[in-house]
Amino acid sequence: MPSTPNSASDPAPDNAGVSDTVLSVRGLTTAFNRRGHFHAAVRHVGFDLQRNETLCLVGESGCGKSVTALSLMRLLPGRRQCRVSGSAWFDGQDLLALSEPAMTRLRGARLSMIFQEPMTSLNPVLPIGAQVGEPLVFHRGLSRQEAEREALRLLDLVKIPDAARRLRQFPHQFSGGMRQRVMIAMALACRPDILFADEPTTALDVTIQAQVLALLNDLRQERNLSLVLITHDLGVVASVADRVAVMYAGEIVEQAPADRLFARPSHPYTEALLRSIPRSDRDVGELRAISGQVPPIHRMPAGCRYAPRCPVAEAACLDATPALAPLPGDPAHAVRCRVRNPAAASEGRIGHA
Amino acid sequence: MFRYTLHRLLAAVPTLLAVLTVIFLIIRVVPGDPAIAILGDNASQQVIDAFRDRLGLNDPLWVQYGRFLAEIAQGDLGSSMVSGRTVWQEVGAVLPYTIDLTAASILIGILLGIPLGVLAAVHRNGWIDYVTRLVSLLGLSFPAFFTAILLILVFSIELRWFPVISRADMADPADRLYNLVLPALSLGLIMTAYVTRAARSSMLEVLGEDYVRTARAKGVPPRVVVLHHALRNALIPIVTVIGLYLGLLIGNSVLTEIVFNRPGLGKLIVTSLNQRDYAMLQGLMVVYACFIVVVNLLTDLTYGLLDPRVKHQ
């Protein structure tokens, strides 16, 4: 079982690169420049990603899920607008400390990413075949012709019918679902170790969503891939996740194996999220929206970030930042709530690290 | 692509017709009787009437309009009322000068403007960006004749590298180029200013697009991201600007040709205007109109080459 990170100052874990942990993130903090001041959109995020595992990052819009993935892929703007700190160990190297050329060699080769908007994520003036084969040109040294032949196999892999003809077409001739398949083919071209999928099905029709999700899941198992799936859709989480990290206002508030999270949601925010999805199989009583909104990054509450919206918050919640700590008796299930998890209260100081 | 080309060609016909109609009306609306202008204020009424009759100016407007269109359809643009030579002869004599000047300034604009704009966009808010923005702002603010006079002062009078009056022997390629340098530079720098600004803003927009992030996410080196993925998309609005400012270039070329005392269409039009040579003026305006329509057509066809979405429509 993965150790649950609870401190920003943790050294690189000993098991990185030895066991089946492919990515080990510690104390990831990403701050954006807003009128000359840097405000953290993601704070002290830590998780371990195992080989051939699906980790879901869940949370409502603006909670820092995408920023987490973009920080790890190093796709955010430069230091003047955005600062990333912490560590992310992958194959014996810290992604956050790598030089830009070294990172370019990893991107698309061993770390890949697909995005929420298949309609705008493909280059409108380049043929599909050239776009899908491109990672092979830069990472494997294939010629453009060889890459295009390989692209044909990849389009077959993601089940695009009539791939030979499709290869020469342009993005505007593809539907949204087909474009997302193209994105997946492109991301998997060099057989990466990790795929970050940022809301890959959100922009698609419901029926297409299920197909694309099933495809991703099949390919993950087939290719021994680790998948970081970002979503706000708990239905998606329930169907594919091995492990879940629930994010709120830039922090992970609860992290657990999927079955245990659904069986025993422990953070009040997770509970509220689960209560807010309609279910046809069981009567969960009245559907409840979570009142209030995620605080903007430049006006974060001092103590627990969820406290202002939390039904169980106590006076102490507003003062000290709770830690993400394992539940007593369940080391794989971590909860950042002093009310629900006594262990979280005792490490309140980490918020000031 | 063939169907697209045909489409654009057909679409140019009504445009041309509309422009010709406007030209015809403008010439007849402007004050001043051409007959008096040519014959002088002292001519007797009889002579004037006879002259108007010969030019067909006494016919009803629609008859004149029909004759005007029929003549143009046959390629007859009329003759100068001053020199008696046909418009085609007059235009033909200066056209090589104009083509040289226009082509050279556009080339300068593209070769300098696009790289500068791309550099400024990639290093947004860096020193390259500030310098580029300042220089292009100066280029836009200086009137064409001012730049031309500055160039003459420095390169012709002080340094004596180039002639003050650029009247080339068109048969001699070296002399032709030698006389072209300063006028082309003076117009080309203005063109560069426009192209740089267009290239910068277009690149900035494209660099923020999702597909540029996709290219980076798959490990495409930064140079290739900019030149292969971004620039091709950014070129579409840049081509529009170049097409638009080609018209402006013609206006500016009038000033440049006067300052350098260089033959050309612009100078021809000013001379005709001063002489109230209305037949010549009408012919020249038709030539210009055709020129602009052709430029627009070329712009449209370039879109088709750059953007697959256009030609599949």
CA distance A253 to A245: 8
CATH number for the domain harbouring residue A188: 3.40.50.300
Residue A88: inside a domain: yes
- The answer to whether residues A170 and A128 touch, using CB atoms and an 8 Å cutoff, is yes
C-beta separation of B155 from B182 below 8 A:
yes
Domain boundaries, chain B: 95-311
Rg, C-alpha atoms of chain B: 24
Q: Which of B210, B219, B222 sits opposite A115 (nearest CB)?
A: B210
Residues of A in contact with B214 (CB under 8 A): 115, 121-123, 183, 186
CA dist A338 and B260 (Å) reads 83
Sequence-ordered list of residues with C-beta below 8 angstroms from that of A238, at least 6 positions apart, any chain: A258, A262
Residues A185 and A153: beta-carbon distance below 8 Å = no
Are A164 and A279 found together in one domain? no
Tell me what pLDDT residue A93 has: 94
Same domain? A162 vs A305 = no
Q: Percentage of chain B with pLDDT > 70? A: 96
CA distances from A330 to A64, A246, A269, A272, B159 (A): 26, 17, 19, 22, 86
Average confidence (pLDDT) over B28-39: 72
Closest Cα to residue A136, out of A147, A123, A124? Answer: A147
Report which of B244, B297, B294, B237 is spatially closest to residue B7, judged by C-alpha positions: B297
CB-CB contact of B187 with B194 (8 Å): no
Residues 6+ apart with CB under 8 A from B3: none
H or E, element range at B233 = helix B231-259
CB A73 within 8 A of CB A96: no
Q: Are residues A66 and A183 in the same domain?
A: yes
Torsion-angle region of A246 (φ positive above 0: left; ψ -120 to 50: alpha; else: beta): beta
**Is B223 in the A-facing interface, judged by CB distances under 8 Å?**
no
Q: Across chain A, what does the average pLDDT equal?
A: 86
Domain count, chain A: 2
CA gap B56, B24 in Å, rounded:
14
Residue B220 forms contact with A (CB below 8 Å) = yes
Residues A131 and A219 occupy one common structural domain:
no
Residues A116 and A128 in one domain: no
Return the bridge partners of A248, or none: A251
Interface test with B, best of A98, A99, A123, A174 (most B CBs within 10 A): A123
Domain co-membership, A147 together with A259: no
**Does residue A285 sit within a domain?**
yes
Give the sheet arrangement for strand A330-335, strand by strand: A111-114, A194-198, A226-231, A54-58, A243-248, A251-257, A330-335, A325-327
Where is the domain boundary, A173, A206, A232?
A: A173
Residues A278 and A213 in one domain: yes
Task: Check CB contact under 8 Å for A123 and B312.
Answer: no
State percent of chain B over pLDDT 90. 23
Which of A223-227, B95-99, B273-277: highest mean pLDDT? Answer: A223-227
What's the complex ipTM? 0.85
Establish if A167 belongs to a structural domain: yes
A138 interfaces chain B, CB cutoff of 8 Å: yes
Do residue A124 and residue B221 have CB atoms under 8 angstroms apart? no
User: Same domain, yes or no, for A27 and A132?
Assistant: no
User: Given A173, A197, A215, which residue is the final one in a domain?
Assistant: A173
Query: Is residue A48 included in any domain, yes or no?
Result: yes
Q: Domain B95-311 classified CATH 2.40.160.40?
A: no
Segment A241-291, tens digit of pLDDT: 999 999 999 999 999 999 999 999 999 999 988 887 776 666 656 666 777
B215 touching chain A per CB within 8 A: yes
Q: What is the pLDDT of residue A128?
A: 94
Measured CA to CA, the distance from residue B220 to residue A171 in angstroms comes to 19
Chain A partners within 8 Å of B312 (Cβ): 170, 172-173
| β-pairing verdict for A111-114 and A194-198 | parallel
Predicted confidence at residue A289, as pLDDT, reads: 74
Q: Residue A9: pLDDT above 80? A: no
Confidence label for A346 from pLDDT (cuts 50, 70 and 90): low
Q: What is the DSSP letter of A173?
A: G
Express as a percent the part of chain A with pLDDT over 70.
Answer: 89
The model's pTM is: 0.82
Residues of B in contact with A115 (CB under 8 A): 210, 213-214, 217
More confident residue, A315 or B169: A315
Three-class DSSP labels, A190-234: CCCCEEEEECCCCCCCHHHHHHHHHHHHHHHHHHCCEEEEEECCH
A108 shares its domain with A245: yes
Confidence of residue A353 (pLDDT cuts 50, 70, 90): very low
Confirm whether A139 is domain-assigned.
yes
Task: Give the pLDDT score at B311.
Answer: 67
Among A157, A173, A189, the domain boundary falls at: A173
Domain of A79?
21-122+174-352
A283 and A211 in a single domain? The answer is yes
Give the DSSP H or E segment for A38.
strand A37-50
pLDDT of residue B233: 93
- Are residue A101 and residue A142 in the same domain, yes or no? no
The number of residues in chain B equals 313
Average pLDDT over residues B169-181: 80
Query: In the predicted model, what is the mean pLDDT of residues B170-184?
Result: 82
Instruction: Give the pLDDT score at B292.
Output: 84
Sign of CA dihedral A260, A265, A270, A275: positive
pLDDT tens digits, one per residue of A88-141: 999 999 999 999 999 999 999 999 999 988 889 999 999 999 999 999 999 999
Residues A149 and A55 in one domain: no
A81–chain B Cβ distance below 8 A for any pair? no
3-state SS assignment for residue A334? strand
Give the percent of chain A with pLDDT over 90. Answer: 54
- Chain A residue numbers with beta carbons less than 8 Å from the beta carbon of B224 are 138
For the ranges B34-48, B101-115, B237-251, the lowest mean pLDDT is seen at B34-48
Q: What's the pLDDT tens digit per position in A220-246?
A: 999 899 999 999 888 889 889 999 999
Average pLDDT over residues B260-272: 87
